[in-house]
């Protein structure tokens, strides 16, 4: 296991941000921590980077115990923070150079590490541009590759595409995909269902600090939401009727603004209503298990 957490608890006063969390990240896989705002994803990430210390539980990262051996773990770890903390007074290349020093890359290997970073980030022709002159997408790509200069075995990505437009998000997904293909182990937090579904081998859904489900996206879908969903649209009174009927027939439902989704209709005997059938997806599972709507 690249990451192994058992019974991890982190409290802030009366708030339990992480509540007896177990998490396994096997080497060479990409695991997505998925949860609504306040679920405890960032706190979990901070525990892994030893920016916070757990109140209870065991944490192991690449075989090192946290927080005691966090220094050793840090050297093999790449961390992409949620907030862009690039040095805006420096150029693209200088930002990478600073990190080659920070990660103690030998002088003879620094040039190659920087060139590799520029290539991965597709920023070779921007090497001399100051960071404050880059677009949001370019900055994000630099932020990710800066965490990779020392070829870490494990990369932690905290909400890597939060607040970015869809096109930039696609570019970053391609970048993360390339990392996966190289065999880098990745733990990524996100509140975008599509991101987890697209990139993660396994997903851990968090709610109120705990894991409510874990598995491959397709397994989670068939386990919790079945194969097919019937989407019924109508005014609120009609939606309430549909919910009552579906529940009377022993079926699970979830509400969106304008429709009721009836889950697992493929298994229903004699339950027929006018609506649209569609395949179940991870969003159905997410809403069912966390009670949260997607923004």
Instruction: Give the C-alpha separation, 18 to 41, whole Å.
Output: 8
State how far the alpha carbon of 18 is from the alpha carbons of 38, 57, 66, 124, 155, in Å: 10, 11, 16, 41, 21
Q: How far is the CB of 97 from ligand ADP (least distance, A)?
A: 31
The binder of ligand ADP chosen from 3, 8, 31, 39 (CB under 6 A): 39
Q: How far is the CB of 15 from ligand ADP (least distance, A)?
A: 5
The binder of ligand ADP chosen from 38, 67, 215, 234 (CB under 6 A): 38
- Residues within window 95-114 making contact with ligand ADP, judged by CB under 6 A: none
Instruction: Give the C-alpha separation, 38 to 66, whole Å.
Output: 23
Residue 47 interacting with ligand ADP (CB under 6 A): no
Instruction: Give the C-alpha separation, 156 to 68, whole Å.
Output: 19
The binder of ligand ADP chosen from 29, 43, 184, 207 (CB under 6 A): 43
Only one of the segments 35-43, 73-81, 260-268, 275-283 lies at the binding site for ligand ADP (rule: CB under 6 A); that segment is: 35-43
DSSP per position, 200-233: -SEEEEEETTEEEEEE-HHHHHHHHT-SEEEEEE
Q: How far is the CB of 45 from ligand ADP (least distance, A)?
A: 8
Identity of the residue, 37 or 108, whose beta carbon is nearer to ligand ADP in the bound complex = 37
Residue 234: count of CB within 10 angstroms of its CB: 16
Instruction: Give the C-alpha separation, 30 to 155, whole Å.
Output: 9
**Torsions phi, psi of 187, nearest 5?**
-120, 125
The binder of ligand ADP chosen from 21, 41, 168, 186 (CB under 6 A): 41
Identity of the residue, 47 or 154, whose beta carbon is nearer to ligand ADP in the bound complex = 47
C-beta separation of 102 from 74 below 8 A: no
Instruction: Give the C-alpha separation, 248 to 255, whole Å.
Output: 16
Only one of the segments 39-47, 195-203, 242-250, 259-267 lies at the binding site for ligand ADP (rule: CB under 6 A); that segment is: 39-47
Q: How far is the CB of 62 from ligand ADP (least distance, A)?
A: 23
Identity of the residue, 36 or 78, whose beta carbon is nearer to ligand ADP in the bound complex = 36
Binding site for ligand ADP (CB under 6 A): 12, 15, 17, 35, 37-43
């Amino acid at each position: 296991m690249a990451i192994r957490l058992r019974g991890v608890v982190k409290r802030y006063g009366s708030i339990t941000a992480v509540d007896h969390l177990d998490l396994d990240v096997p080497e060479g896989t990409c695991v997505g921590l998925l949860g609504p705002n306040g679920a405890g994803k960032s706190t979990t990430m901070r525990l892994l980077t030893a920016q916070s210390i757990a109140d209870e539980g065991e944490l192991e990262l690449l075989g090192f115990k946290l927080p005691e051996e966090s220094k050793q773990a840090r050297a093999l770890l790449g961390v992409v923070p949620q907030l862009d903390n690039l040095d805006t007074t420096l150029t693209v290349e200088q930002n990478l150079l600073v990190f080659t020093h920070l990660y103690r890359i030998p002088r003879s290997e620094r040039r190659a590490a920087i060139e590799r970073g520029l290539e991965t980030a597709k920023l070779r022709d921007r090497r001399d541009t100051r960071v404050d002159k880059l677009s949001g997408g370019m900055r994000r790509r630099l932020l990710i590759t800066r965490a990779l200069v020392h070829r870490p075995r494990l990369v932690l990505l905290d909400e890597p595409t939060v607040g970015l437009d869809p096109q930039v998000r696609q570019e970053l997904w391609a970048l993360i995909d390339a990392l996966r293909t190289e065999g880098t182990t990745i733990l990524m937090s996100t509140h975008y269902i599509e991101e987890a579904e697209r990139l993660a081998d396994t997903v851990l859904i968090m709610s109120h600090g705990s894991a409510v489900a874990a598995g491959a996206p397709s397994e989670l879908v068939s386990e919790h939401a079945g194969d097919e969903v019937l989407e019924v649209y109508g005014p609120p009174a009609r939606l309430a009727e549909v919910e009552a009927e579906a529940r009377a027939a022993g079926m699970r439902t979830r509400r969106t603004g304008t429709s009721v989704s009836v889950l697992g209709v493929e298994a229903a005997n004699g339950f027929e209503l006018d609506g649209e059938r569609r395949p179940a997806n991870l969003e159905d599972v997410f809403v069912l298990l966390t009670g949260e709507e997607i923004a």
